[in-house]
Every structure is written in structure tokens, then in C-alpha cells.
Amino acid sequence: MRTHYPVVIVGAGPAGLLLSHLLHLQGIESIVLESRSREAVESTIRAGVLEQGTMDILNETGVGERMRREGAVHHGIELAFGGARHRIALTELTGRAITVYAQHEVIKDLIAAREAVQGEILFDVSDVSVHDVDSAQPSVQFVVDGQTRRLTCDFIAGCDGFHGVCREAIPSDVREEYQRVYPFGWFGVLVEAPPSSDELIYAAHERGFALISTRSPMVQRMYFQCDPSERAETWSDERIWHELHTRTESDDGWRLKEGRIFQKNVVAMRSFVATPMQHGRLFLAGDAAHIVPPTGAKGMNLAVADVWRLARALDDFYHRDTEDALKGYSAAALKRIWRAEHFSYWMTRMLHRLDDASPFEQKMQRAELEYVVSSRAASLTLAENYVGLPLA
Ligand code: RFL
Ligand code: PHB
């Protein structure tokens, strides 16, 4: 059994899988270690919105074929408040668009691409620990099929999400963490129904935020703001529809189409950044280093941007004999991350019901919404962040 790889990647989410794919295209071998089963990884329902830059990377690296066929390209989004809907014309304003294509479909496409070239992904591993990241030869120990194994490598990529183990391997005296936990969550449902709208609707209502998104011509994704400790299984379908209808209704008579609800879940909301994203030969990417609230649809896109940068830096190391890009990885990645953190925070504050806000602050929130939908400059600010700022 092989015991050394140039790069060991912990985590088979979008970050880890895309990194292994990009490295393969550059002729750099890697192995991916994942604690969950393949089935679990391929079926976890999460993100849906891909920025233009994410689409471009998937297309240019040969894994965009199904996304082009099954994903839906959207040229605008709608902001609903005060009984009216207002369109933000993303493409008219920026020349760019977004694609709605589920994260677990991206994951399936990446796993298929790795399999096609015998790329190694070990599922169901446990007890992963990383060692000697300060040395020229770090290693990763884990258990698979009841056997303890240890792999040495040149680099470890910590792509193991917010609850992973890699971030903790950066010593606490050099690691800084910035965090905000929001006093609300999102209640998410999957519904068997045709789309109610051609574009995503972000609704701000006195009862709280709601989002109408889509997955396919027959499956719709909807969310509404709730208490973060809410237990999804205790909510009847009737109660869910009541919240969704109330928060999205508009004066023009438009009404959400109902259907069978076949999945319910509640997600908590936080903003989080750990810096630096590198220590010795350990590099963090994606949710392992940062979390955004989902309102800006940035989480998976940031993970993609991180590994795109990391893959290029590793290419420089192996093929151009320079470590400059690796040394600059954390600082360069964090510029984009802080921008996305601000955008996600701003969208969240603007669109959610804020129980801690004074009446004055509530008026400020409405004034901001009115401005965003009426000023070209303000709409453009939202649009250029939503479709994603250029990567380089
Ligand atoms: P992931 O996807 O969490 O993958 C990490 C993987 O690492 C594994 N793992 C371990 N493996 C081995 N050993 C260990 N010790 C391990 N610990 C963990 C895990 O099992 C997992 O498979 O992180 P990654 O790759 O950084 O990707 C991040 C994205 O998944 C995340 O940012 C997005 O889902 C966020 N997000 C959205 N992002 C968007 O760009 N657009 C969206 O529209 C969007 N909507 C969302 C979202 C996230 C949501 N939730 C559920 C928080 C909507 C929601 C509701
Ligand atoms: C989704 O479709 O899951 C989705 C869309 C937009 C967001 C967050 C999630 O801002």
C-alpha cells in the first residue's frame, strides 16, 4: 500500500474534491480522505447558487457538462418587500449571470471525474489527525476498514469544513478567529412543485425573511427565517405554507405554488473567519477557514475560489520552482473572503427581521432596501457581489 502522496486532502466537499481535480489536471497527485460515506456526501442538500466564476472553472476543467444541461442560468433576482417585488437585473448591470445547480450535483460530477482517472478518494475514514505540519514532511493518520494508516506528504490541504480537525492544527497562539452568531436560523424545505417564479425571490417581511429558490422544473427550494433552536419535525406543512405565503405575498396577486414537502431542516447562521489559512505545510480552504450566512449565496463559491488559488500556488511550487504564491496564499485568499463576509453580513442585516433593532434601526433597514432597488449604483453594488467579483 502506498504511503506517500504529494498532497493529502482532508474532506470530500466541494473544496477537497475540486482541489484534487485541479491538481490532477496539473499533473500533481493527491488522495482525498473523507469521514462520511459516499452516499451521504452525494446526497447532502446544501447550496444552490453558482457564481459566474465558479461556472467558468467547472466548464474550463471539463466537469461542467451536466451543469450546462441541467442547471438554470438566471439573469436577475427579485427583492420583495412592502407588498411589491423589485428586480435586480444582474446581467444587465454586470454582464455576468449565476447558475442554480445543487451542490450535491457538483459533488457527484467531481467524484465521477476523479473516478474516471482512478483518482483516490477514501470514504468512511475516522480518527483523522495531522502531524508535523511545521516540517518538510507532514503526515496524516487515520483509520479505515479498522486499520490505522499513516500517509506522509509534501502538503496537507484542510478542506474538512467548519467541524473538521485541520483548523485546530494551527497553533492557538498564531491563530485568530473572528465570529458572529446570528440570533436566527433558516427553516429550509424541499417541495415537489413547479417553479412559482422565473427568478429567486429574497423577501423581507415583518414576520421575517423568506427565500424562494429552485432545484429543477419539478423541485423547489424554499427557506424562511426562524428561531435557530426550532425543531423542523414539529412543524406541520400547513404552518410552513402559512409562513411562506404571508412573507412572500405581493399586491399584484402573485401567489406561491404549493406542493408536497419532502424534506425539512433548520440551519443556524454564523459569520466566521480563521486567520492565517496556512501554517507550515498545512493549507486551509473553504468552510474549514470561514463561514458566511447563506443570504449572499457565497459559501461554496468561496470554497471554489480558495482551491483555485491553492492549486495555482501548488503548480508554481512543483513546476516553476517558486514558493511565492504559496507564501501569499492566505493573504490573497482572505481579501476575497472578507469582501464576501461583508456582503453576506450586509444582505443578512438588510433582509432579516432583527428583533434587537430599535424602531429607528428598522426604518434604516427599510430606507436601505428602498435605495438598493431604486438606485443604479446601489443595485450594481448588490449585483456585482452576488454574481461574484473577478477571481484574479
Ligand atoms: P464541506 O462541504 O463542509 O465539506 C467538508 C467535508 O469534510 C468532511 N470532514 C472530514 N473528513 C475527514 N476527516 C474529518 N475529520 C472530517 N471532518 C469533516 C465532511 O464530511 C465534508 O464532506 O466544506 P467545503 O468543501 O469547504 O464546502 C463549503 C460548502 O459546502 C458551503 O460553504 C456551502 O454549502 C454554503 N452554502 C451555500 N454556498 C453557496 O455558494 N451558494 C449557496 O446558495 C449556498 N447555500 C449553503 C447554502 C449552506 C447551507 N447550509 C446547510 C449551511 C444553503 C445552506 C442552507
Ligand atoms: C439555495 O437554493 O439553496 C439557495 C439559494 C440562494 C441562497 C441560499 C441558498 O442565498
Listed by start position, the domains of the chain span: 4-48+102-175+276-350, 182-269+355-387
What is d(CA 40, CA 44) in angstroms, rounded to the nearest whole number? Answer: 6
**1 pLDDT more than 90:** no
Q: Please name the residue whose Cα sits nearest to atom 8 of ligand 1.
A: 11
Q: What is the pLDDT of residue 392?
A: 78
The reply to whether ligand 1 has any atom less than 6 angstroms from the CB of 301 is: yes
Retrieve residue 262's grid coordinates.
419532502
| 186 in Cβ contact with 268 (< 8 Å) | no
For 182-269+355-387, CATH number out of 3.30.9.10, 3.40.190.10, 3.20.20.390, 3.40.50.2300 equals 3.30.9.10
What pLDDT digit, counting tens, does each position of 211-235 carry?
999 999 999 999 999 999 999 999 9
- Can you tell me the distance from the alpha carbon of 143 to that of 129, in angstroms, rounded to the nearest whole number? 10
**pLDDT tens per residue, range 141-187:** 999 999 999 999 999 999 999 999 999 999 999 999 999 999 999 99
Pocket test for ligand 2, best of 44, 90, 214, 221 (most atoms within 8 A of CB): 221
Task: Tell me the CA–centroid distance for residue 48 and ligand 2, in Å.
Answer: 5
| 301 in contact with ligand 2, CB cutoff 6 A | no
16 Cα–ligand 1 center, Å? 10
For the Cβ of 221 lying below 6 angstroms from any atom of ligand 1, the answer is no
Topology classification of domain 4-48+102-175+276-350: FAD/NAD(P)-binding domain (3.50.50)
45 pLDDT tier (thresholds 50, 70, 90): confident
Q: At CA 57, angle to CA 383 and CA 169, rounded to 5? A: 95
74 among known catalytic residues? yes
Average pLDDT over residues 106-120: 98
DSSP letters of 284-318? E-GGGTEE--GGG--HHHHHHHHHHHHHHHHHHHH
Does 202 qualify as catalytic in the annotation?
yes
Residue nearest to atom 53 of ligand 1 (CA): 47
Distance between Cα 335 and ligand 1 center (Å): 21
As a whole number of angstroms, the distance between CA 286 and CA 277 comes to 10
* Sole residue written with cell 447550496: 47
